[in-house]
Copies of this chain bind each other. A is one copy, B any other.
Amino acid sequence: MIKMTELKKDDTRNILSDIKLFEGLTPTQLDWVAKHAHRRTFTAGTNVMTIEQPGEAVFIILHGTVKIHIEQSGRDVILSILGSGDLLGEMSLIDSVGRSASALTLENTLMLWMDKTTFNYLLDNFPPVARNLVKILSARVRLSDQVIQSLASLDVNGRVARQLLAFAERYGREVTNAVQIRIILTQGDLADLVGASRKRVNQTMVFLKEQGLVSTDADGRFIIHDKAGLARFCD
């Protein structure tokens, strides 16, 4: 985990080597990237890219979280929540189709970004980058497939349980006999994530807490006490 305070102006190079997309690049290549990549901080609640704008940049999250969502006729669907190390906005640059979703920062977020030209240059001239991107996209397809399966086959309890387990996997921090999920989410967010109403998700959370499977800490973060117990709801 990279801490915000650790990030000085000049150590971009060091950070780059920790990013999946740049794995396998030579120091010289990393230097090139460092020269062409910029940093920017977005305050919480900023719309990084708005829906339907032609994509003009790729972002890499160095610290913070971003919610990828689609709003349509009052209803909000959250496709995913990205965190440090994740790539964002690359799809528009790849296929030149407009943005299909919006990205909203959930907390103050530090990003690395490159313009379209730089990204394409990278892709064409630094072979490991294309390779890494293939892996990244492949992993994303796998995650999407899990979400689809969940939405198509589980009831709300199951979908919430699965989502919590997925968050534990991605954003979990081990504490005494439990896993704390770093991200702060409201029950409303959770509802938009699993395609259910807030009311129903509330019922699920109350239920899961009664069972002792889950609890909430002072800041509203979820704490998972029994992964296996949750998994039972996922078929």
Contacts and interface: CB of A to CB of B under 8 A. Distances in A.
Tally of this chain's copies: 2
B148 A91 contact: no
A152 B149 contact: no
A32 B8 CA distance: 49
Interface SS of A by simple majority: helix
A90 B101 CA distance: 26
A91 B130 contact: no
A9 interface: no
A52 interface: no
A207 to B, nearest CB: 21
Interface stretch (A38-46, A68-76, A165-173): A68-76
Give the interface size bracket for A toward B. Answer: 35 or more
A148 B79 contact: yes
A34 interface: no
A138 interface: yes
Interface of A: 70, 72-73, 75, 77, 79, 90-91, 94-95, 97, 100-101, 123-124, 127, 130-131, 133-135, 137-142, 144-149, 151-153, 192, 194-195, 235
20 contacts: A70-B149, A75-B235, A77-B149, A79-B148, A79-B149, A91-B141, A94-B134, A94-B138, A97-B142, A100-B145, A100-B146, A127-B127, A130-B134, A133-B134, A140-B141, A144-B145, A147-B148, A148-B148, A148-B151, A151-B152
